[in-house]
Amino acid sequence: MTSHLTTRAEHKRQYREQPRQAGIYLIRNTVSDRVLLGSSMNLHGPLNRHRFLLSIGGHPNRALQDDWRRLGPDAFEFTIAEVVAPQDAEAGPHEDELAFLEDLWLERTAPLGERSYNLHPRIRDT
């Protein structure tokens, strides 16, 4: 029988060993179609962080947090919109390719309008 701690440790190990994907993500309010556009060299990190902060009521984006509290988590979609193709398996994606994708998605979605949760044009998560 596997203990809870062993299972948790195994999940952590598997998460660390996953290849990291760089790209663009969206958090979309399915009721209003309002969107938070973001990018990262490790897509799963920011998506998990946003979900966690929203779930505990501590997200720094007040409009997003207020809508989450009012509408509930089922009213939101967390989507990986586009992934940077790695140059090779060991090197992973390059930051300049991600910057190019950021520019394309900023043009495509105009993330500072009324249908956006973005507060400024910098969308890259660290």
Task: Find the CATH number of the domain harbouring 53.
Answer: 3.40.1440.10
- 0.85 cut: is pTM over it? no
Parent domain of 92 = 20-109
10 within a domain of the structure (yes/no): no
Q: Residue 86 in contact with residue 5, Cβ under 8 Å?
A: no
3-state secondary structure of 125: coil
Q: In this predicted model, what pLDDT tens digit does every residue of 72-111 receive, in sequence order? A: 999 999 999 999 876 655 555 578 888 888 888 888 877 6
Of residues 32 and 112, the one with the higher pLDDT is: 32
Residue 88: inside a domain? yes
Per-residue pLDDT at 60: 95
Residue 61 has pLDDT above 90, yes or no: yes
Task: Evaluate whether residue 69 is within a structural domain.
Answer: yes
Split into its structural domains, the chain has a count of 1
DSSP H/E element including 40: strand 35-40
